[in-house]
Amino acid sequence: MRKRLLRKGLTRKNLVFIIIASCLAITALCLIIVLTSGNDENFARIDVDEYYKDNSEKVVATIKVHEAKTVLTESEAQILLMNRGFDNLVIFAQYDLDGRYIGSNEINPNGTTKYPMYEATYLDKQNAVWTLMIINGQITAYPVSYNMNSNGTPIIVSEEETLMSYDAGTSKFYETIPKGSSLSVKVVDRIDTEMLENMTEEALSQL
């Protein structure tokens, strides 16, 4: 037997080496388990191209953020909202132009930095909550209260049939027409305070 082992090159020394190597391998494996169970793992992300394939009627265009012509500066976003009667709103940006998540950052109303997406919350006189979003220059109004009170597909108010979306991962804007089952777009001539104040839940449901 010993002869056979020796013939195959498996001496006692080699055997000990194999045992040590196995132990080291198991230790390394355990260390990998420890490390990967830590906080390096990212939360699951949606494949955005797949998402819009599934949830939109049509992807009209995709635009690389750095090539987009209509991205607003902080002050331009502020003026856009003020011109529509939205005074004194706190406007936030959550991503920089390179797609880095920067948290909910209040913008400088006079600033010249460009952000791909701006958000502000508007409370109308009936205490209905709206989220105003400006993505690549396009403004939309998302009726939070209405959507909460009505079961089913959420609606969004827009000045165009196509919606501008943003994804930091691909660093692109997506211009799409959503499927009615995903997001119902209600088109109006102009989004401003007057329009939102008149947009009761009943009026919204009749749009």
Identify which of 190, 178, 186, 177 has the alpha carbon closest to the alpha carbon of residue 206: 186
Query: Judged by CB under 8 A, does residue 34 bind another protein?
Result: yes
Q: For residues 112 and 164, which CB has a smaller minimum distance to another protein in the complex?
A: 164
State which of residues 135, 139, 191, 199 lies at the interface with another protein (CB under 8 A). Answer: 135
Q: Which stretch binds another protein (CB under 8 A): 57-65, 70-78, 114-122, 186-194?
A: 114-122
Shortest distance in whole angstroms from residue 153 CB to another protein: 8
Query: Judged by CB under 8 A, does residue 165 bind another protein?
Result: yes
CA dist., res. 73 & res. 107, Å (int): 10
Q: For residues 13 and 112, which CB has a smaller minimum distance to another protein in the complex?
A: 13
Shortest distance in whole angstroms from residue 176 CB to another protein: 8
Query: Judged by CB under 8 A, does residue 162 bind another protein?
Result: no
3-state secondary structure at position 102: strand
Shortest distance in whole angstroms from residue 195 CB to another protein: 18
Do residues 120 and 132 lie in contact, with contact meaning Cβ atoms separated by under 8 Å?
yes
- Contacts by 65-71, CB closer than 8 A, 24 or more apart: 65/97, 65/99, 65/116, 65/166, 65/171, 65/172, 65/173, 66/97, 66/171, 68/116, 68/136, 68/173, 70/136, 70/137, 70/138, 71/97, 71/114, 71/115, 71/116, 71/136, 71/137
Tell me the two tokens of residue 97.
């132009």
Q: Which stretch binds another protein (CB under 8 A): 1-9, 18-26, 59-67, 107-115?
A: 18-26
Shortest distance in whole angstroms from residue 39 CB to another protein: 5
CA dist., res. 1 & res. 74, Å (int): 82
Query: Judged by CB under 8 A, does residue 187 bind another protein?
Result: no
Query: Judged by CB under 8 A, does residue 104 bind another protein?
Result: yes
Query: Judged by CB under 8 A, does residue 152 bind another protein?
Result: yes
Q: For residues 112 and 127, which CB has a smaller minimum distance to another protein in the complex?
A: 127
Size of the site for another protein (CB under 8 A): 61
Query: Judged by CB under 8 A, does residue 126 bind another protein?
Result: no
